[in-house]
Amino acid sequence: MYRERLYLPDHLPNEKVEFVLRRHLFVAFGEGLLFIVLFAIPVGFYYFFKILFPHLLASEVVYTLLLLSVSVYYLYILLFAYTSFIDYWLDIWVVTNERIISIEQRGLFARKFSEQQLFLLQDVSSEVHGILATLFHFGILLPSQLAQNRTPYLNRCRGLTRLLYESCNSLRPAEKIILERGSFNYL
Amino acid sequence: METNMITLSIFLYIYLFLVVIFILFAMFVIYHVIRFSFWGLPAFLATFLFIAATVIILFVTLDYCARVDWQQPIQILPSGGLFSTQDLIK
C-alpha cells in the first residue's frame, strides 16, 4: 500500500489527517471517455483517406505534413488528458482532527483553498441523486456550520461558509467520521 | 524557386515551435504535481505514462523526420497567384 504525502496549508501542531476525499472515479472516467474518442479520431481519418484518397497518402510531402500534424495533435491531447487528470487528482478534501480543508485546482494557474473548523460544524448531511450515483455510491456531502439557514444574513453568506463536496466517494463513512470528530453544539 | 513556393522545412520549424510550447506546459504541469506533492500510485503512474507516451511520439516523429528531404519545395498557391484566371482561360 502506498501512502500519500499531503500538502496541508498552515499545518497545525498535532494535526492529524483522518482521511482524504476525492471526486468519484466514475466522474473522472466520464472525462476519460472523451479523450479516448479524441485519440481515435486521427485513426478514423487515416482509414478514411486510405480508402477514398489513397493517392494523397502516397505523396511524401502530404504524408510528412500529416505526420507532423498528427504528432502535434497527439502531444496536445495527451497534455490535456494529463492536465485533466491532475485537475481531478489535486481536487481534494482533507479531513483532519481539527478541520476540513478543501483544495480545488481550477485549470493550470488557479487554486482555491477553503477550510472549516470541525468545532464550528452543526451537522453533516449527504445527498445522492440519480441512478448512477446510487449504483456507484457517490453524491454530495454537506457539512453546515452553526446558525446557518437560521438568519437571513447568514443565509446570504451561505456560499462562503458552507463547503460543498461534490461527487465524493465514501459518503457514509465520511459523514460518520466528521460527526464523530466534530464537537457538535446544538443550541 | 518560384515566389509562391516554400521549402518543407518551414513546417518542421512550426512543428518544433509547437513542441517547445508543449514541453513548457508539460513541465509546468509536472511541477504542479511535485510542488503540491500529492504523490500516490495513480499520480505516479499517470506521470510515467504521460512522459513515456510523449517520448514515444517524439521519437517516432523525429525518426521519420530524419529521413525526409526538408529542402524540397512546396507550391502554396496555384501557379499565377490565388486570384489568377490563367487556369480558367486555358
**pLDDT tens digits along B37-78:** 556 788 888 899 999 999 999 999 999 998 888 888 887 766
Which of B40, B57, B68 is opposite residue A71, by nearest beta carbon? B57
User: In the predicted model, what is the mean pLDDT of residues A146-167?
Assistant: 44
Q: How much is the pLDDT for A161?
A: 38
Q: With contacts defined as CB-CB under 8 Å, which chain A residues touch B40?
A: 2, 4
Q: For residue A21, what are the β-bridge partners?
A: A93
Identify the band that residue A156 occupies on the pLDDT scale cut at 50, 70 and 90: very low
Whether B18 shows a pLDDT value over 90: the answer reads yes
Q: Do A72 and B39 touch (CB under 8 A)?
A: no
Q: Give the closest of A4, A61, A76 to B72, CB-based.
A: A61
Q: B79 or A58: whose pLDDT is higher? A: A58
Judged by CB atoms closer than 8 Å, whether chains meet at B12 and A68 is answered as yes
| C-alpha A86: how far from chain center | 9
Joined together, the cell numbers standing for residue B63 give 525518426
Which residues are CB-contacts of A95 (< 8 A; sequence separation ≥ 6)? Answer: A17, A18, A19, A20, A21, A174, A177, A178, A181
pLDDT in tens, A72-113: 999 999 999 999 888 888 888 787 877 878 787 777 777 777
Interface confidence: ipTM more than 0.85: no
pLDDT at residue A71 tops 70: yes
Q: How close B8 comes to chain A (CA, Å)?
A: 8
**A153 or A73, which is more confident?**
A73
Whether the per-residue pLDDT at A179 is higher than 70: the answer is no
Which tens digits make up the pLDDT trace of A6-62?
Answer: 666 677 777 777 777 777 777 777 788 899 999 999 999 888 888 888 887 778 888
With beta carbons under 8 A apart, name residues in chain A contacting B24. none
Residues of A in contact with B19 (CB under 8 A): 72, 75
Whether B11 sits inside 8 A of A64 (CB atoms) is: yes
Q: Between B37 and A143, where is the model more confident?
A: A143
Q: Looking at residue B90, what is its pLDDT?
A: 45
Average pLDDT of the residues in A151-178 = 51
DSSP state for residue B78 in the 8-state scheme: -
pLDDT given for residue A157 in this prediction: 35
pLDDT tops 80 at residue A1: no
In chain B, residues with a C-beta closer than 8 Å to the C-beta of A108 are: 25, 28-29, 32
Contacts of B60 in chain A (CB under 8 A): 71
Please judge whether A79 and B22 are an interchain contact, meaning their C-beta atoms are less than 8 angstroms apart.
yes
Measured CA to CA, the distance from residue B29 to residue A122 in angstroms comes to 38
Contacts of A4 in chain B (CB under 8 A): 38-40
Say what the pLDDT of residue A166 is. Answer: 56
Residue B2's pLDDT band, with cuts at 50, 70 and 90, is low
CB contact under 8 A, B68 and A64: yes
Q: Is the pLDDT of residue A175 over 80?
A: no
- pLDDT (0 to 100) of residue A185: 40
Contact A68 B11 (CB under 8 A): yes
- B6 grid coordinates: 516554400
Min distance B28 CA to chain A CA atoms (Å): 8
Q: Measure the CA–CA gap between B79 and B90, rounded to whole angstroms.
A: 13
